[in-house]
């Protein structure tokens, strides 16, 4: 072998290594087709797409349901990529169908509902009419924070407990940081930091997995550590781990406090190194589900954690960043394969195989609207990080 040939060989190997393994352009264009189909199926904004019932019909929800911001959120992100006006009109229509939720003080999920919809809409269009709606929403959400307890209340009650907080609640803090920046009122940011610190203290186990539900008393003492959607109180419910990972990554982005970065890294390491993580890196719905490997997967947990890992990869040392990026890439390869990705059919949802609430026998192994949202977000983040487009 002569020297030139060896140099060419090394170069070819290096460039194939640098090539993104996911064809983002193709996946987003196919996703846009699916969601244009969804827009045709859903004309009346009284009902939002949620998932698919066992009989193949749509499971639909009214605006106060926690997932109703994801449809327009995905439409906004797909519009941002494609510049397709049909997607933009759909995004506007399904965002504005949520207007009354700005006053909803009965849920902690206003971050999901309003920041994915109005928040993305404001980011992309700078429509000033969206700003007061978002700020009112943040104000409504902040009423669920009792300073004596030090956390935002998730539900009105859970079993015998009156102040339950779920790990998922970390996902609403990004919205509150935005509200502080835009309004100049630090209250939203400050209460988010208190919430995140108490969650850090009380929600995590020594192995860095998290409980789903922590029940507090009226002055912030922990009464119980439970699950609602996981296999057991002491199990690691997959989507809960993903919400925590995403939440602490955002906390680090917004505050640059090392304790949040450390926590995000601990969760990431628990998640990516778990012995029950399947080869395709799409987790079972609970890492400790009793019948693994005969348990359903949760593609939504895979999509959420891939999106979070891609962001986290920018904040850690190079080698660890590469590891997170490469894990997220493998997840996106799996989710973009026909096993999980639907280029047609699938009731116009993009991903198959998510699990919503197995203990309640609800939404098991089905498409679910939030899986699509975080898959699209992860694809966009992946493309931004891996500039070269796949052919
Ligand atoms: N926040 C509820 C869930 O993740 O299912």
Asked whether 88 lines ligand 1 (CB < 6 A), one says: no
Q: What is the pLDDT of residue 390?
A: 43
Nearest-atom index, ligand 1, CA of 240 = 4
Q: Regarding beta strands 213-216 and 222-226, do their DSSP bridges make them parallel or antiparallel, or are they unpaired? A: antiparallel
* Neighbouring residues of 279: CB distance < 8 A, sequence distance ≥ 6: none
Q: 220 — alpha (psi -120 to 50), left (phi > 0) or beta?
A: left
Nearest-atom index, ligand 1, CA of 300 = 4
CATH topology of domain 23-390: Glycosyltransferase (1.50.10)
Residue nearest ligand 1's atom 2 by CA: 168
Nearest-atom index, ligand 1, CA of 239 = 4
What distance in angstroms lies between residue 15's CA and the mean position of ligand 1's atoms?
40
Q: What is the pLDDT of residue 6?
A: 53
Mutate to test the pocket of ligand 1, among 51, 66, 241 (most ligand atoms within 8 A of CB): 66
Nearest-atom index, ligand 1, CA of 66 = 1
- pLDDT by residue, tens only, the chain of 391 residues: 455 555 555 555 544 446 789 999 999 999 999 999 999 999 999 999 999 999 999 999 999 999 999 999 999 999 999 999 999 999 999 999 999 999 999 999 999 999 999 999 999 999 999 999 999 999 999 999 999 999 999 999 999 999 999 999 999 999 999 999 999 999 999 999 999 999 999 999 999 999 999 999 999 999 999 999 999 999 999 999 999 999 999 999 999 999 999 999 999 999 999 999 999 999 999 999 999 999 999 999 999 999 999 999 999 999 999 999 999 999 999 999 999 999 999 999 999 999 999 999 999 999 999 999 999 999 999 999 987 434 4
Asked whether 168 lines ligand 1 (CB < 6 A), one says: yes
Asked whether 212 lines ligand 1 (CB < 6 A), one says: no
Residues 55, 60: Cα–Cα separation, whole Å: 14
Nearest-atom index, ligand 1, CA of 171 = 1
Give the start-to-end residue ranges of the domains of the chain: 23-390
What distance in angstroms lies between residue 19's CA and the mean position of ligand 1's atoms?
35
Q: What is the pLDDT of residue 388?
A: 45
What distance in angstroms lies between residue 5's CA and the mean position of ligand 1's atoms?
55
Q: What is the pLDDT of residue 389?
A: 38
Six token digits for residue 1: 């072998």
What distance in angstroms lies between residue 388's CA and the mean position of ligand 1's atoms?
34
Residue nearest ligand 1's atom 1 by CA: 168
Nearest-atom index, ligand 1, CA of 166 = 1
Helices (H), the chain: 3-18, 24-41, 69-82, 85-96, 110, 120-125, 130-142, 173-183, 187-202, 238-255, 258-272, 299-312, 318-335, 369-385
What distance in angstroms lies between residue 243's CA and the mean position of ligand 1's atoms?
9
Mutate to test the pocket of ligand 1, among 61, 116, 170, 229 (most ligand atoms within 8 A of CB): 229
Q: What is the pLDDT of residue 391?
A: 41
Asked whether 239 lines ligand 1 (CB < 6 A), one says: yes
Q: Pick the catalytic residue: 44, 80, 84, 109? A: 109
Walk across the sheet containing 164-166 and list its strands.
Answer: 164-166, 213-216, 222-226
Give pLDDT tens digits for 78-133. Answer: 999 999 999 999 999 999 999 999 999 999 999 999 999 999 999 999 999 999 99
388 and 18 Cβ atoms separated by less than 8 Å: yes
Q: What is the pLDDT of residue 24?
A: 98
What distance in angstroms lies between residue 276's CA and the mean position of ligand 1's atoms?
21
Q: What is the pLDDT of residue 19?
A: 79
Asked whether 358 lines ligand 1 (CB < 6 A), one says: no
Nearest to 130 by CA among 119, 141, 143: 119
What distance in angstroms lies between residue 66's CA and the mean position of ligand 1's atoms?
8
Mutate to test the pocket of ligand 1, among 243, 304, 359, 360 (most ligand atoms within 8 A of CB): 243
Q: Is residue 298 annotated as part of the catalytic site, yes or no?
A: no
Q: 364 — alpha (psi -120 to 50), left (phi > 0) or beta?
A: beta
355 and 340 Cβ atoms separated by less than 8 Å: no
CB atoms within 10 A of CB 362: 13
Q: Is residue 168 annotated as part of the catalytic site, yes or no?
A: yes
Asked whether 286 lines ligand 1 (CB < 6 A), one says: no
């Amino acid at each position: 072998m002569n020297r030139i040939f060896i140099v060419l060989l090394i170069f070819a190997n290096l460039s194939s290594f640098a090539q993104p393994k996911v064809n983002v352009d193709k996946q987003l264009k196919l996703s846009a087709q699916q969601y244009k189909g969804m827009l045709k199926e859903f004309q009346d904004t009284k009902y939002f797409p949620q998932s698919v019932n066992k009989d193949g019909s749509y499971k639909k929800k009214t605006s106060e349901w926690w997932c109703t911001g994801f449809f327009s959120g995905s439409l906004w992100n797909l519009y941002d990529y494609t510049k397709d006006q049909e997607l933009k009109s759909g995004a506007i229509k399904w965002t504005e169908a949520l207007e009354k939720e700005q006053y909803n003080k009965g849920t902690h999920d206003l971050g999901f509902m309003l920041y994915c919809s109005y928040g993305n809409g404001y980011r992309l269009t700078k429509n000033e009419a969206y700003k007061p709606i978002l700020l009112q929403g943040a104000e409504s959400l902040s009423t669920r924070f009792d300073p004596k307890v030090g956390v935002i209340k998730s539900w009105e009650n859970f079993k015998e407990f009156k102040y339950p907080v779920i790990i998922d609640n970390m996902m609403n803090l990004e919205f509150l940081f935005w509200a502080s920046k835009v309004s100049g009122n630090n209250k939203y940011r400050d209460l988010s930091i208190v919430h995140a610190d108490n969650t850090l203290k009380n929600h995590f186990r020594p192995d860095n997995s998290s409980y789903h539900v922590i029940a507090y008393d009226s002055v912030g003492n922990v009464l119980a550590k439970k699950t609602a959607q996981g296999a057991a109180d002491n199990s690691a419910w997959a989507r809960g781990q993903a919400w925590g990972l995403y939440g602490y990554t955002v906390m680090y982005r917004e505050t640059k406090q090392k304790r949040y970065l450390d926590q995000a890294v601990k969760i990431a390491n628990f998640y990516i190194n778990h012995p029950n993580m399947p080869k395709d890196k799409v987790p079972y719905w609970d890492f400790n589900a009793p019948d693994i490997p005969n348990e359903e997967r949760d593609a939504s947990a895979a999509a959420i954690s891939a999106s979070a890992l891609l962001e986290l990869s920018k904040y850690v040392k190079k080698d660890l960043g590469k590891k997170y990026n490469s894990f997220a890439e493998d997840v996106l390869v799996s989710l973009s394969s026909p096993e999980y990705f639907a280029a047609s059919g699938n009731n116009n949802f993009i991903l198959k195989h998510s699990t919503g609430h197995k203990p309640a026998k609800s939404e098991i192994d089905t498409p679910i609207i939030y899986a699509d949202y975080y898959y699209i977000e992860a694809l966009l983040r992946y493309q931004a990080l891996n500039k070269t487009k796949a052919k």
